[in-house]
Chains A and B, each alone.
Chain A
Amino acid sequence: MLGTPVFAGVPSVSATGMVLMSPTTTGLLLEATGVSKTYGAVVALKSASLAVQPGEVHALMGANGAGKSTLVKILTGAIRPESGRIAVHGRERTVHSPAEARRSGLVSVYQEPSVIPDLDIRANLRLTETPLEPFRQWVHDLGLKNLDLSRLARRLPLASLRIIDLARALAIEPDVLMLDEMTAALPANLTERVLEVIGLQRGGERSVVFISHRMIEIAAVCDRATVLREGETVGVVDVTAGTEERIVELMLGSIVEGLPERAGETSTPAAGTAAPRLTVRGIAVGQKLRDASFELRSGEVLGVVALEGQGQDELFDVLSGSERPSGGELLVDGKPASFGHPADAIRAGVVYVASDRAEALLMQRSVRENIALPFITRIRRWGPIDLPAERRTVDAAVKRLQIDVRAGNEVRRLSGGNQQKVTIARWVAGGVHVLLCFDPTRGIDILTKQQIYVLLRDLAEAGAGVLLYTSELKEVQLVCDRAVVIFGGRIVKELVGAEADEAQLLRAAYHLRSGAVMPEEAAGAAVESATGDIREAGAPKDEAEIQA
């Protein structure tokens, strides 16, 4: 492998100078070209390609929603592409089911364990016709000692199930093994063994396609990386020391032109001294969220940025009252608060807009009932409803958010954007104190997005504190006064909103220092803080960074 990153458009020339596009002559193990997939109006994959050589560990990289998981699911037959060509050993294949993919030598291990919880391990293995002896050997090699095959799957910890999934896949000796966020749920020692085993696959006949959010793991085991952006393959890179930056650049692409206008003015410096609405001190949830501390002030929109599964879900669950933290302290307007139920949080003025509208809406009820729902939940509001007063409040909220209520008899008949507006209107109608938004603009049209940005700014202007988690990094610069980045359950960076461009945020989200190769020591800390049981190792450094 050459030491320099090679940008490869599509079609492209690989680092070794071989032309990737002619399958019969290259000896590629797996080749996918022009793969596309749409879900309704949402384009999951536009034109993805992937070329895997025998004996390599190939990373598949991309920001949230770039299409990695979709591509893997297509390659293993779990979903069907709209177009595209898949060739294994140079021969074209149509892969219609996981079983067919398996016969072609393509096997994947997904993010979630794929065992049947109420069967024991032996029965689970029998279901997939996994040869027992190789399985035992792999389990042993992967560092899972004394596995009792007669135990029910549901009684085993998540980490063991992940190892079992991996060993099961290895035991059937696939030509191409695809690992989708395999290491996300593993403790440090098991991660190490898994990476070792993957590394051993190098150089032989077989290949591994490896998806991970942890740049350090990519650097440790991968030979080459294919980078996806917005459903397209934008480059293939040789992984060597220093290529992290290159990969991040590819994931970002050229900065998008024609950004929408910044939604309203961000706060003046005076807002920095405004009263804190919400103070979070050392909030922890088991191993998922280790130490979150920040202040949300009156009049500001605070962005939260993280890759998938870094603890942001737990943070919002705690703040919205859905889950009790295992440690730490929460203050609302300077007064200690403890939420055992969302009702407690709502009473304290902390309200939550979920990204999953199916979770937040009464789909069979009217817009009006959905918006008025929080007004009637307390026992003293169970009596007769003052319908004219309710109509006035609801109408005001509908008008403010410009909700199209023509199909308002049943919320499920509304468009996604209108549905999302209803979930926000519910809280706006009652007056907002602290608003928690978890990816509120996911999967909605650009116009509605813009309206939501303006609304969030307006609410902040009126004195509310808004906490905004977003998977669209552009939004941070558009809407937020400040942003915090969570990695491995800790807040690793804080940025000023105006400076938080996508590059900065993505580097921080991958826990990379800007403009520099990750030093060995920091890399080690990153793995620990991302995976390990060691709590102290990464912490002082992270805090120092926040001060800076």
Chain B
Amino acid sequence: MSASVRTNQWLSVVGWRGLFRDRPIIPLIGLLGVLIVAIELADPGIVGPEWAGVIVRASVPLAILGGCQTLAMLTGGIDLSVAAVASMSGFVTATLLHSPGGVAQGIIVVLVVAAVAGLLNGIGIGVFRVHPLIMTLGMSFVVLGLANVWQLQNVQTGAGVPDSLRWIGSTTFADVVPYNLLVFIPLTALILVGLRRTGYGRLLYAIGDNPVAARLSGTRAWQVLIVLYVISAVMAAIAGLLISGLTNTASVSLVDASLLPSVAAAVIGGTSILGGRGGFGGTIVGALILTVLTALLTVLGLPEPSRQVLFGAIIVVVAAAYTRVTAET
């Protein structure tokens, strides 16, 4: 009898942990709620529909970049070139504003360039077995360097962020719903369904969970990885266009500061950096959490250095707590 009682106690602990492990989104949404309450307490009256619109608008590009990390991390990799690719994308589109094909041509050019960068990442990682950290870090310098070369050769007047990008990146419907959701919602649907319901999505998890098993079952990992890093780079370019439109800025280092938050969004969202575990839903909430956290620290009126320290510390604590709670006992 006592044994069965003990079993029940255990079950409740396991159930609680199981909630974190199997449905990581629920506790994350709870954390998000706590932060929103905190910000309302710090500055009563701030939280409202318009405020929510601003938060969502700022979170969308970060969530997309976090999506790049999520997909890469599912396979046990990481993509550190997303910031450079995103910056390049916004910058080059701006310089091509007055080209014959206009904005459309600019966007097509940057998506192709991003895809090539991703292809090279994928070949390096999948075929030549370079560690993803090294490969994508190297690629970020290559992309930055090429963007600088482009900048030097295309000194021109009249270049600027296209109106269409400004519209989709920064304006909102009825002052509440940001238009960048027009890009984000279809993309999210594609990723969520892709991860759950397609063979390709399953292989991302398989490679991250156990590369040997995946190989023994006939998976050629290099094919999966090449496609993965192309997708990641193209998503990064899309995020870059939105950020450029949001900030009305075109610079070769515009997105640099978002690189580590993109990793943090994925990790806070419950994606394991070791691979095989996680998903995009958590990353979206992770991006929202980071954005609200930034807003909270701003509202508190702390000086910039203290804000950075707190921001970093909170990310580490959340990630560590999360790992502890979800770890197998």
Contacts and interface: CB of A to CB of B under 8 A. Distances in A.
B220 interface: yes
B216 A354 contact: yes
B158 to A, nearest CB: 44
Contacts of A91: none
A342 B216 contact: yes
Contact of A379 (B202, B209, B217, B223): B223
Interface string B202-232: 1101100110111111111001000000000
B197 interface: yes
Contact-residue bracket for chain A: 20 to 34
Interface string A358-378: 111111110001001111111
B79 to A, nearest CB: 20
A516 interface: no
Contacts of A369: 202, 205-206
B277 interface: yes
Given A362-B206, A362-B209, A377 B198 contact: no
Contacts of A385: 197-199, 202
Interface string A384-419: 110100000000000000000000010000000000
Contact of A362 (B199, B200, B210, B223): B210
Given A369-B202, A385-B198, A342 B217 contact: yes
B200 A322 contact: no
B213 A343 contact: no
B276 interface: yes
B218 A360 contact: no
B31 to A, nearest CB: 24
Given A359-B216, A365-B205, A381 B277 contact: no
A108 interface: no
A384 B198 contact: yes
Contacts of B212: 359-360
A375 B203 CA distance: 11
A381 B200 CA distance: 8
A209 to B, nearest CB: 35
B219 A377 contact: yes
Contact of B218 (A346, A362, A387): A346
A377 B216 contact: no
B286 to A, nearest CB: 20
A387 B197 contact: yes
A241 to B, nearest CB: 47
B213 A342 contact: no
B197 A374 contact: no
A376 B214 CA distance: 11
Nearest to A369: B202
A382 B203 contact: yes
A471 interface: no
A315 to B, nearest CB: 16
Contact of A384 (B197, B219, B276): B197
A362 B216 contact: no
Given A361-B210, A362-B276, A365-B209, A342 B215 contact: yes
B203 A376 contact: yes
A299 B175 CA distance: 73
Contacts of B203: 376-377, 382
Contacts of B205: 362, 364-365, 369
Contacts of B277: 364
Most buried by A among B198, B199, B215, B276: B199
B220 A341 contact: yes
A112 to B, nearest CB: 20
A320 interface: yes
B199 A359 contact: no
A487 interface: no
B216 A322 contact: yes
Interface string B174-199: 00000000000000000000000111
Nearest to A376: B199
A258 interface: no
Given A363-B209, A363-B210, A365-B209, A373 B217 contact: yes
A444 B276 CA distance: 27
B200 A343 contact: no
A433 interface: no
A346 to B, nearest CB: 4
Contacts of B213: 359-362, 373
A138 interface: no
A352 B218 CA distance: 11
A140 B220 CA distance: 48
B220 A382 contact: no
A376 B209 contact: no
B198 A320 contact: no
A385 B210 CA distance: 21
A157 interface: no
A320 B217 CA distance: 10
B210 A343 contact: no
B216 A320 contact: yes
Contacts of A214: none
Contacts of A343: 218-220
Nearest to A341: B220
Interface in B1-55: 22
Contacts of A352: 216
B202 A376 contact: yes
A540 interface: no
Most buried by B among A352, A362, A379: A362
A364 B197 contact: no
A40 interface: no
A269 interface: no
A364 B278 CA distance: 11
A17 interface: no
Contacts of A383: 198-200
A377 B200 CA distance: 8
A288 interface: no
A342 B216 CA distance: 6
A58 interface: no
Nearest to A381: B199
B152 to A, nearest CB: 41
Contact of B206 (A346, A373, A379): A373
A426 interface: yes
Contacts of A360: 212-213, 216
Interface in B276-294: 276-277
A359 B215 CA distance: 10
B199 A374 contact: no
A117 B215 CA distance: 28
B200 A374 contact: no
A378 B218 CA distance: 8
B276 A377 contact: no
Contacts of B220: 341, 343, 377
Contacts of B199: 375-377, 381-383, 385
Contacts of A361: 210, 213
Given A360-B212, A364-B209, A382-B199, 19 more contacts: A322-B216, A341-B215, A347-B218, A358-B210, A364-B205, A364-B277, A365-B209, A369-B205, A373-B214, A373-B219, A374-B217, A375-B199, A377-B220, A382-B198, A382-B200, A383-B199, A383-B200, A385-B197, A426-B217
Interface of A: 320, 322, 341-343, 346-347, 352, 354, 358-365, 369, 372-379, 381-385, 387, 409, 426
Closest 10 CB pairs of A and B: A376-B199, A382-B200, A343-B218, A377-B218, A362-B209, A346-B218, A377-B219, A373-B217, A382-B199, A374-B217
10 contacts: A342-B218, A343-B220, A346-B218, A364-B277, A373-B213, A373-B214, A377-B214, A381-B199, A383-B198, A387-B197
Interface of B: 22, 197-200, 202-203, 205-206, 209-210, 212-220, 223, 276-277
